[in-house]
Structure 1
Amino acid sequence: MRVFYMSVLSLFLLVGCATNKGPLYDGSSYKQMKRIEIGRVIKQRPVVISDNGTGTFLGAVVGAVLGSTVGRGSGTTLAMLGGGLAGGYAGKEIGKANGAELTVELESGEMVVVVVKGSDFIAVGDRVKIIKDGNKVAQVDKISN
């Protein structure tokens, strides 16, 4: 059991090995050409972005491991199950992020809506550059005037 705990701890320590000096690109899409759209934000509203499942999974694993250390016999099984459920719920809530839904009028006159994590860096009236990866938004940056 000690090996299991050390493995879980090692996994959590190794998760943050990459530097955070730029946007995150998917391993299969970073070589593909991207398209850029320029526009002005005409409307902004706050949104909550749900967990993509990672927080729920990690929370459930950690909760189950911690729950397995409580009780004896069948009590351990119940504690492990309860810990997994509680950890999954906590992970789901922790995995949520604040964001903003931006309505952007592109230079072409077309109107689009994009959702970005965080909301403090782009405001109504700001010019933005939207980097598209196929039909997905890869990144939205404020353009300095």
Structure 2
Amino acid sequence: MKKFLYILIAITLMISGCATNEGPEYDGRNYNQIKRYEIGTVITSKPVVIKDDGSGKFFGALIGTVLGSLVGSGAGKTLATLGGGLGGYYAGSEVGKANGEELSVELDSGEQVVIVIKGNRFVAGDRVKIIKDGNKVAQVDKINK
């Protein structure tokens, strides 16, 4: 039983720690597509929390259910499995949240836009390049003066 638990923990660590690059992340279907960009100046920056996209809840519930099923016997095992799944669901939703920023940007064209990105890197007055993938923001980079 312990061997199974060790294997499960090892798989979880491998899945969660695969990416080592701190650069932008592109979807496997659109990394080789032509992107457009716009240049602008950050007017305001405010911190936001980006909710879990559902993957944290799913993996949390899955892992919690498996771990809960390893505890107890009979009706106690059923309750432990259910409790593990519910606890994992909640923990996964909290772990899946990310800090982000809501940026108000005045583009060089004069248009003003609002974009939400992960991380906290920008302040009012920063010059930025917004790389777009269709109508979606793929990446925002600070332009050094």
Same fold flag (TM > 0.5): yes
Q: Distance in 1 between matches of 2:64 and 2:113?
A: 41
Residue 129 of structure 1 is matched in structure 2 by 129
- 2:81 is the counterpart of 1:93: no
Pairwise CA distance, 1:54: 1.2
Q: Distance in 2 between matches of 1:38 and 1:6?
A: 49
What's the CA shift string for 1:43-63, capped at 9, x where partnerless? 111111001111111111111
Q: Distance in 2 between matches of 1:14 and 1:66?
A: 18
Q: Distance in 1 between matches of 2:128 and 2:115?
A: 11
Q: Which amino acid aligns with 1:71?
A: G
Closer/same/farther in 2, CA of residues 17 and 97 from structure 1, 3 Å limit: closer
What's the CA shift string for 1:12-62, capped at 9, x where partnerless? 243233431411100001011000110000011111100111111111111
Consecutive unaligned residues in structure 2, runs of 5 or more: none
Three-state SS of the structure 1 residue aligned to 2:56 is: helix
Pairwise CA distance, 1:5: 4.1
Three-state SS of the structure 2 residue aligned to 1:124 is: coil
- Amino-acid identity (%): 63
Pairwise CA distance, 1:2: 6.9
Q: Distance in 2 between matches of 1:34 and 1:100?
A: 22
Q: Distance in 2 between matches of 1:49 and 1:123?
A: 19
Pairwise CA distance, 1:6: 5.8
The aligned length equals: 144
